[in-house]
Amino acid sequence: MKIIMLGAPGAGKGTQAKMIAEKYHVPHISTGDIFRANIKNGTELGMEAKKYMDQGLLVPDELTVRILLDRVAQDDCANGYVLDGFPRTIPQAQVLDDELAKLGEKIDYAINVDVPDENIVNRMSGRRACIKCGATYHIAHVPPKKEGVCDVCGSELVLRDDDKPETVLNRLKVYHDQTQPLIDFYTAKGVLKTVDGTKDMQDVFQAVTDILG
């Protein structure tokens, strides 16, 4: 079962991808996680990706495709996978389709987690991250015990640059310009399914499992 998660930044597709991976025993492959690991380790690829991510821009196709194809060729992907954050553009989707076709494979479902922009800005501007251990909170939904202080290590909590409203709005603009066409692309292939991402997380997941069976 090969699944692609679509949805704007902050729509909750990553959370749903993890839940799908756990239930169906397939790996959750997030390009964001791969990029962050490279950034943390100070690799050349990571530093290059960071330049784009800090500005709320998409990492170029050639960087992303190279990482992703290596990842899905690994043994743990034999029974399928959930792709989160890839493809983001039509060229990426076409490369993925072409590479899978060479293997006699294809994407089974593209699940679009639909959330209005206004909801996303409110969600993301409420997020806070620990500067030391990386633990994350939300001032409305998952607040720390003490305002501005991490429950885990006691360090300061900050609003990350990529969660600031102006960056979020830029990311949403980039998403609508470059990624929205994927919805049409996968609709034409007959594999697109849309769920209402404004609902409770478990209700969204129920809608997803209804689709996947």
Annotated catalytic sites, by residue? 13, 88, 127, 160, 171
Query: Six-digit token pair at 98?
Result: 């072409």
Asked if 89 and 61 touch (Cβ cutoff 8 Å), the reply is yes
**What residue has token string 């983001």?**
88
Query: Six-digit token pair at 14?
Result: 């990553």
Whole-angstrom CA distances from 212 to 65, 78, 195, 209 are: 26, 18, 12, 5
List, in sequence order, every residue forming a beta bridge with 142; answer none if it has no partner. Answer: 138
Asked if 111 and 3 touch (Cβ cutoff 8 Å), the reply is yes
Query: Six-digit token pair at 103?
Result: 């293997």
Closest CA to 185 of 110, 116, 103: 110
Could you count the other beta carbons within 10 Å of the beta carbon of residue 56? Answer: 20
